[in-house]
Amino acid sequence: MKNGSFRIIRRSKDRKKNKVLEERYQQKLEETVGNTEIHENLDQNLEYVKKVLGESYDLITRKLIIDQTDDRYAGIVYLDDMVNKDLVHQFIIRPLVSIGESKDAMDDLWKAAVDKIVEAGETKPADGMKSVIDAILSGDTILFIDGYKNALIMGSKGWYNSLREPRSEHLVRGSREGFTETLSFNIGMIRHRLKDPDLRIKMLSLGKRTKTVVNLLYIEGVADPKIVNEVEQRIKRIEIDGVLESGYIEEFIQDQIWSPFPQLQNTERPDAVVSHLLEGKVAVLTDGTPHALIAPAVFTQFYYSPEDYYERYLIATFLRLIRLISLFAALLLPALYIAFSSFHPEMIPSKFALAMASGRSTVPFPSIVEALMMEFSVEVLREASIRLPGPIGPTIGIVGALVIGEASVSAGLVSPAMVIVVAITTISSYANPSYNAAISVRLLRFPLMIAATVFGLYGIMIGVMLILLHLVELRSFGVPYVAPYSPFQGQDSKDSLFRAPWQWMNKRPVIFRPQNERRQPDMEREKREDQR
């Protein structure tokens, strides 16, 4: 009874804390993005926009003199990565500058400006500063004129559909857009999906010779400032002649350089980046590469697919279980085959043991040599299929595997059971949505095979225990790598190996220490608990 009372009191305190945080956030939202009136003073309007949208490098504010007699200025505001720059310069800036050449325009500058830039496309007056902010985040350009309490929204969207589909993250259901090698286009894709005034973009430069532009993205008020600062400081400490790809940055800023497991996630998908930003993580985008880095990262998220959140939760949970089974198969199957065939044949059914023994009767090599030969052949075929041109690569991989497997069995070099084991292992490794996490599993497979050769099942158990100890010890920017299971977080386990319905996932993952934990209200549950 005492424990139950304690849980109710703790829930009540948590609700009060979340309500306070939510009220503070809403208050800040009203103060900054509320429907504030437009001022007559141009500088005041521009400063307000900068205050709300922050000092993001792609926020452009320009002042143009349109009345040299009275020193009257116009101001335009837009996001550089969201607009059609040719349209802005040709149909907005140039007509505004030419207003001063007409004496009749001096009588009513606002009317003259509106008449001049009507060719820019769709134009409409702004109701207040809230509509101004919303329009800027949608890719429009805003016009202010000093001395007028008006603002004009001018259609100037330049965002376009992606030129390429993600090559390493194919989905059945979901967006077909992927990042390109141009950083400004990638930022535009993210802003197109995340029209949040709290989105912050910091620009950094890496490489003494290449001067590669790197952008750090996070949502202010959601992401933990300590994590943001840690990521930024690690990037700033990089001193190298050139940075040509985000892989350079990943290796420099990860916690453990000797770990086979990736400690940052990379993705080519804008929707995946936005999803991680909404959870309180930090994204790092590099010019010249379509791969974005996500920090911090935990072990389970490498087995998520963006499609898990687009399908119903039962389907998503089933797919995650399939991937989990595939992980164990890809890691342990060859080692288990070696252990059972060499040390523990009594642990398998007698008919299966006799079939394995008859299959191996013509094989002149021990199980470890047999397994290494097949695994090495498959790895070579896999690498060759990646390097070959697109249409040829998959064909070579499939045909090569069939030919080598059939020829090896016919020649008596390997047993049929070994071919089946390697085939299942290879297919299982392809079920991993993350390429770099799949490579880690492929790498660890070989030490486990050697351990099984020396100690049998005991060697596999020792190897698995060492891997688990390493995972528990690992950190990604201070976040435990095996969270939410060590330490256990019940709330976060709703979206881990299983995915709960969206109605139940009303909080962001606690492990990333978000400033605002709430992602959606849970009014029904609070009402039920208040009635107890």
Calculate ∠ Cα 494-500-503, nearest 5°. 110
DSSP-assigned letter for residue 63: E
Q: Which of 306, 280, 308 is nearest to 294 (CA)?
A: 280
CA quadruple 349, 354, 360, 366: dihedral sign = positive
Kindly indicate the confidence band of residue 525, based on its pLDDT and cuts at 50, 70 and 90.
Answer: low
Residue 313 · residue 502 · CB < 8 Å: yes
**DSSP result, 481-498:** TTTTBTTB-TTGGGBSSS
pLDDT of 7: 42
Poorest-confidence range of 113-127, 178-192, 445-459, 475-489?
113-127
Token duo for residue 406: 């059939």
CA–CA distance, 99 with 102 (Å, rounded to integer): 6
Answer with the residue of higher pLDDT: 501 or 388: 501
Token duo for residue 463: 């190897």
Residue 238 · residue 422 · CB < 8 Å: no
Q: Which of 292, 305, 290 is nearest to 265 (CA)?
A: 292
The rounded mean pLDDT for the chain is 83
Which residues are bridge partners to 507 per DSSP?
518
Res 104 pLDDT > 60: no
From residue 103, give the alpha-carbon distance in Å to each of 91, 112, 508.
21, 11, 59
Q: Which of 183, 199, 206 is nearest to 253 (CA)?
A: 206
- Three-class SS of residue 463? helix
Res 12 pLDDT > 60: no
**Average pLDDT estimate for 268-287:** 94
Per-residue pLDDT reduced to its tens digit, 467-511: 999 999 999 998 999 988 888 877 777 888 888 888 888 888 888
Token duo for residue 247: 């892989």
Token duo for residue 442: 């492929």
DSSP-assigned letter for residue 54: -
Res 6 pLDDT > 50: no
Calculate ∠ Cα 167-172-178, nearest 5°. 35
| Percent of the chain at pLDDT exceeding 70 | 86
Strands (E), 162-315: 199-206, 212-219, 265-267, 282-286, 292-295
**Average pLDDT estimate for 408-430:** 86
H/E segment holding residue 3? helix 2-33
CA–CA distance, 79 with 54 (Å, rounded to integer): 12
Cβ atoms within 10 Å of 127's Cβ, excluding its own: 13
pLDDT of 10: 45
Cβ atoms within 10 Å of 404's Cβ, excluding its own: 19
Per-residue pLDDT reduced to its tens digit, 31-48: 555 557 888 888 899 999
- Measured in whole angstroms, the distance separating CA 286 from the mean position of its chain's CA atoms is 14
Answer with the residue of higher pLDDT: 439 or 344: 439
H/E segment holding residue 357? helix 350-360
Token duo for residue 266: 């990379």
**DSSP result, 394-438:** HHHHHHHHHHHHHHHHHHTSS-HHHHHHHHHHHHHHHT-S-HHHH
Which residues are bridge partners to 302 per DSSP?
none
Residue 200 · residue 219 · CB < 8 Å: yes
Residue 46: CB partners within 8 Å, gap ≥ 6? Answer: 61, 63, 75, 77, 144
**Residue carrying the six token digits 């695994």:** 375
Poorest-confidence range of 114-128, 309-323, 326-340, 365-379?
114-128
Kindly indicate the confidence band of residue 2, based on its pLDDT and cuts at 50, 70 and 90.
Answer: very low
Interhelix angle for 246-253 vs 225-236, to 10°? Answer: 110
Per-residue pLDDT reduced to its tens digit, 173-231: 888 888 988 898 899 899 989 988 999 999 999 999 999 999 999 999 899 999 999 99
Answer with the residue of higher pLDDT: 55 or 288: 288
**Average pLDDT estimate for 430-447:** 90
CA–CA distance, 461 with 336 (Å, rounded to integer): 11
Res 233 pLDDT > 50: yes
H/E segment holding residue 318? helix 313-342
